[in-house]
Amino acid sequence: MIPHPAQQPPAAARALPTGAPGTGALVEHTLATGHGRWWTDRAVRPRAVAVTCGGHALLAGDPTALTPEALAPLADHCVEAPDRFLPVLGEAFTRLHTWERMLYLHTAPASFTPRVPHGLTVRRLTGADAPALAAVDPAMAWIHDSWDGPSALAASGLGWAAFRKDRVLAVACTRFLGSRYEDLACATALDERRRHLALACVSGLTADVTARGHRATWTCSRDNRPSRLLAWTAGFRLAREHVHHVAGRAVVNAPSGFGAAA
């Protein structure tokens, strides 16, 4: 597929919904923040389009316009696409794993107000926090993937973190920023769990989302019980269940700029 810059969407991008909750906010996040990339099967009058950001991809259009090789840029992504794309997706990657997901909407107050332990601070991130965010445990580093790194997330004003001095113990952020919805994500250091730090961060963040006139959403795996419990405690309620497809390595890596035959 042919790449296009984040803030220069191809005309075919109209096939992807805007104003959508959950991962659907990825479309507007890419446009608003400049993080992510568009892809089409050809430069002129494209028939298929994808948008990628933070390890996720949305795919729309005509699957017959794509060869398996053309889908190589979506390798190692979580792909959301209509079922008509499944045959070509199945041919494009060494594996295609179906992952059951749950979408929650923030509709209620938190079950309780978490008490921040002595010596810790929970607050909104600022640009000056970029070095501390960059130094988080590698297992937490995925949290800033949709911002292309810690600096942009820290400067966005769309994150909250729990600190012990200059160390980030937990962080919650807007993963995908939409015009109506903001899909949230949260990560906590393994040795700091069960102290309600994540809940404190999420509570501060959801208050900000509401103040912006948006609605917070939460998406997680059906099997991720801790994430589901955190969402419920923070006031999120299940809206729907869906699936996306986790792509493995590309069967054949396409050359740069490769698209389907016209």
What would the mean pLDDT of 168-186 be, rounded to a whole number?
Answer: 98
Q: What is the pLDDT of residue 132?
A: 97
User: Residue 131: CB partners within 8 Å, gap ≥ 6?
Assistant: 166
SS3 126: coil
Mean pLDDT, the chain, rounded, equals 93
Q: What is the pLDDT of residue 257?
A: 42
Cα dihedral angle (163, 134, 103, 220), rounded to 10 degrees? Answer: -90
- Answer yes or no: is pLDDT of 262 > 50: no
- Answer yes or no: is pLDDT of 259 > 80: no
Q: What's the first-to-final CA gap in the chain, in angstroms?
A: 12
Q: Which residue has the higher pLDDT, 114 or 218?
A: 218
What would the mean pLDDT of 20-35 be, rounded to a whole number?
Answer: 95
- Answer yes or no: is pLDDT of 260 > 80: no
Q: pLDDT (tens digit, 9 = 90+) per residue, 236-245?
A: 999 999 999 9
Written in H, E and C, the secondary structure of 143-188 is HHHHHCCHHHHHHHCCEEEEEECCEEEEEEEEEEECCCEEEEEEEE
User: Residue 194: CB partners within 8 Å, gap ≥ 6?
Assistant: none
The pLDDT-based confidence of 156 (bands split at 50, 70, 90) is: very high
CB 159 within 8 A of CB 205: yes
Nearest to 81 by CA among 129, 23, 165: 23
What would the mean pLDDT of 37-64 be, rounded to a whole number?
Answer: 96
Residue with tokens 């973190």: 161
CA 154/CA 124 separation, integer angstroms = 9
Q: What is the pLDDT of residue 194?
A: 83
Q: What is the pLDDT of residue 253?
A: 64
Q: Which residue has the higher pLDDT, 252 or 156?
A: 156
Q: What is the pLDDT of residue 235?
A: 97
User: Residue 83: CB partners within 8 Å, gap ≥ 6?
Assistant: none
The pLDDT-based confidence of 21 (bands split at 50, 70, 90) is: very high
Residue with tokens 């795996």: 221
CB 173 within 8 A of CB 160: yes
The pLDDT-based confidence of 190 (bands split at 50, 70, 90) is: confident
What would the mean pLDDT of 49-62 be, rounded to a whole number?
Answer: 97
What would the mean pLDDT of 95-118 be, rounded to a whole number?
Answer: 92
- Which percentage of the chain shows pLDDT scores above 70? 96
Nearest to 40 by CA among 238, 262, 206, 253: 262
